[in-house]
Amino acid sequence: MNVYERMKQALITGKYKPEDRLTEEALTGEWKVSRTPIRSALKQLEFDGLITPLKRGYVVRSFSQNDIRQIYDVRSLLEGYAASLSAIHRTEQDLSDMYKANAEFQTIITSQGTNKTEHIQEVLKKNHKFHDAVMRASKDPHTEDLIRKVVVLPLVFHSFYWFQQRELEQSFELHEVIIRAIKDQDSARARSAMHEHIYQGRDRVLEQLKRSDL
């Protein structure tokens, strides 16, 4: 893993917390590389929207409840759109990719891992794999690009960490609905199911946040 990826992990796992200041100098010491790769990583993280530039250095970005709402809302719009395109353009290969990804998702959520954090990492990975397969079936790289940008941010909230078993199963079931609609080339249904799926995720995060803010 290069510096960018490691710093991204640090941001996602919460090693760097909102409002923490990041200066090039300090980071060279921490990661044992020179300022050049640090600068490069910081710039990329800025693109990702994970850090905000100041006149001097950066801060780890903090997200309000409103931010989260808005991020999930556009994400729903975009992924719903992608799903509707996928219903039109999907190939047999795409379909089998989706099936496979969701089968793996099911395997993971039904197996209780030893370590919770590791288990969640796996769930996350398989979930991502499914969404990726849907996106790719759309054959629209530009939309994919935009979605990719909006998908990174929610990782910061560790949404899956708070999912109950029941909710993971709901996700699995909605994935199935989405696949079926795409298979049937039912654009409108694919879109709507995807919207629903993402809004469920949103509400879970929002709820959790409200609870921890009290």
Partner DNA sequence: AATTCTTCAATTGTATACAATGAAGCGTTT
Partner DNA sequence: AAACGCTTCATTGTATACAATTGAAGAATT
Listing from the earlier edge strand, what are the strands of the sheet with 58-60? 21-22, 58-60, 51-53
Secondary structure class of 158 (helix, strand, coil): coil
- The answer to whether 20 contacts DNA (rule: CB under 7 A) is no
Q: Take residue 82 and report the two structure tokens written for it.
A: 């992608």
CB 61, min distance to DNA, A: 16
How far CA 201 is from CA of 35, 73, 75, 206, in Å, comes to: 38, 11, 11, 9
d(CA 24, CA 82): 38
β strands within the chain, DSSP E: 21-22, 51-53, 58-60
Q: Which residues bind its own copies (CB under 8 A)?
A: 39-40, 43-44, 47, 49, 67, 70-71, 73-74, 77-78, 81, 140-143, 145-146, 149-150
Q: Residue 57 binds which entry of DNA, its own copies, none, with Cβ cut-offs from 5 to 8 Å by kind?
A: DNA
Q: Residue 169 binds which entry of its own copies, DNA, none, with Cβ cut-offs from 5 to 8 Å by kind?
A: none
CB 39, min distance to DNA, A: 6
Secondary structure class of 44 (helix, strand, coil): helix
**CB within 8 Å of 148: residues ≥ 6 apart:** none
- The answer to whether 142 contacts DNA (rule: CB under 7 A) is no
Dmax (CA) of the chain = 55
Q: Residue 74 binds which entry of its own copies, DNA, none, with Cβ cut-offs from 5 to 8 Å by kind?
A: its own copies
Q: Take residue 24 and report the two structure tokens written for it.
A: 């090039």
CB 113, min distance to DNA, A: 34
Secondary structure class of 114 (helix, strand, coil): coil
CB 182, min distance to DNA, A: 36
Q: Which is nearer to DNA, 35 or 116 (CB)?
A: 35
Q: Which is nearer to its own copies, 68 or 120 (CB)?
A: 68
- The answer to whether 56 contacts DNA (rule: CB under 7 A) is yes
CB 4, min distance to DNA, A: 9
Site string for DNA, 32-51 (x = CB under 7 A): -xxxxx-xx-----------
Q: Take residue 155 and report the two structure tokens written for it.
A: 């990782």
Residues that bind DNA (CB under 7 A): 2, 23-25, 33-37, 39-40, 55-58
